[in-house]
Amino acid sequence: MATEKGTASLKPAKGPVALLIGTRKGAFILRGDRARRTWKLSHPQFLGQIVHHVVLDPRDRRTMLMAARTGHLGPTVFRSTDQGKTWKEAKTPPAFPKAPDGQTGRVVDHVFWLTPGHASEPNAWYAGTSPQGLFRSDDGGVTWKPFSYINDDPQYREWMGTVQDGTPDGPKLHSIIVDPRDPRHLYFGMSGGGVHESVDGGKTFTTLLEGLDVVEGFDRSTPTVHDPHCVRLCPGNPDRLYQQNHCGIYRIDRPSKQWLRIGNNMPKRIGDVGFPMVVHPRDPETAWVFPMDGTGVWPRVSPGGKPAVYRTRNAGQTWARLNKNFPKSQAWWTVKRQAMTADAHEPVGLYFGTTSGEVWASRTGGANWTCLARHLPEIYSVEAAEL
């Protein structure tokens, strides 16, 4: 595994930004100009279908993959080579092997997460599914195969738990991360099942759970009860990762294996429970979260109906509330783990989509906010892409 901190080549983006939006009822593209002031929303694509994730390949800036669950095709991946103008279904979508006669096998319910491979592997993509599975494509998303041994390993199957052990709409394998310095160095998260790392290209994986809390009454040494919501690697320092977890906000600085709970520095009345985690594209000291009400029955709404983004500029020592132009009350929405993102401009643009179908943006790193779109279906994912 490479150990140098590769940061010098990260330059601010200058091109137009597009937001790739996955919703419960289709996909949308919100295209902005270079100044990020004027935006135009596309017509829906795959209207009525569940779209969990839409990602532009940063290696060619033309290819897009879409993780969808359709009424007639079931769980699948669609591929576009013209920036989303036309789409074709994968010839072989991610799927578990057929079980031997007389045995019950696992079936992919939906493809949940998509990650482009390393820059040195221009046609490689990774996919995470529900129930938890890790898949790879080496032809740009046309065909997919199970990746690594974890899908069928007895120990991993135990850690994955049952369908009932996962999130309300099924357990997830997510946050698939490729170290920009080394294609063999991989991370992923499982909800539930914890955070895992490979340094040999997926031949083996090890747990990365030290320092993480679990729900009271459970044994933190058991990976099954760990629930990472979102894990992000800092482009400005690939040895630093941040995590928004079921039990708080964490940071780790490799080669340490110990997560540090930085969410304890959040205001006590707000807490540090949420789904998304966003890191600055160049500054590893800066990150953003969107807290939700984590008390009682976990209503999954903004605390008190007063939404706000929180930012740290010192790696979690302190947090600032950013809510200028947000509703001041009675805004009972939240933001899902894939639905908050940042562009690479200077200043950094932040974007998120809500469970009530709104898209919000800030051209100033969160200092003030503008609502770009309303009345969309429930938003599952938002990715910023430079076209």
pLDDT tens-digit series, residues 333-381:
999 999 999 999 999 999 999 999 999 999 999 999 999 999 999 999 9
For the chain, what are the domain ranges? 17-94+108-386
The pTM is what? 0.94
pLDDT of residue 166: 63
pLDDT beyond 50 at 5: no
Read off the pLDDT of residues 171-225 as tens digits, 9 standing for 90 and up: 999 999 999 999 999 999 999 899 999 999 999 999 999 999 998 888 888 999 9
Rounded Cα gap, residues 118 and 180, in angstroms = 6
Instruction: Give yes or no for a contact between 54 and 66, defined as CB atoms under 8 angstroms apart.
Output: yes
Measuring CA to CA, how many Å separate 65 from each of 12, 87, 112, 196?
A: 25, 9, 12, 24
**Could you tell me which residues come within 8 angstroms of residue 330 by beta carbon, excluding any fewer than 6 positions away?**
305
End-to-end Cα spacing for the chain: 31
Rounded Cα gap, residues 364 and 369, in angstroms = 8
Kindly tell me the burial class for residue 313, based on how many C-beta atoms sit within 10 Å of its own C-beta (0-12, 13-18, 19 or more): middle
Q: Return the CATH class of domain 17-94+108-386.
A: mainly beta
The position carrying tokens 């009530």 is 356
Find the helix or strand (DSSP H, E) in which 158 lies: helix 154-160
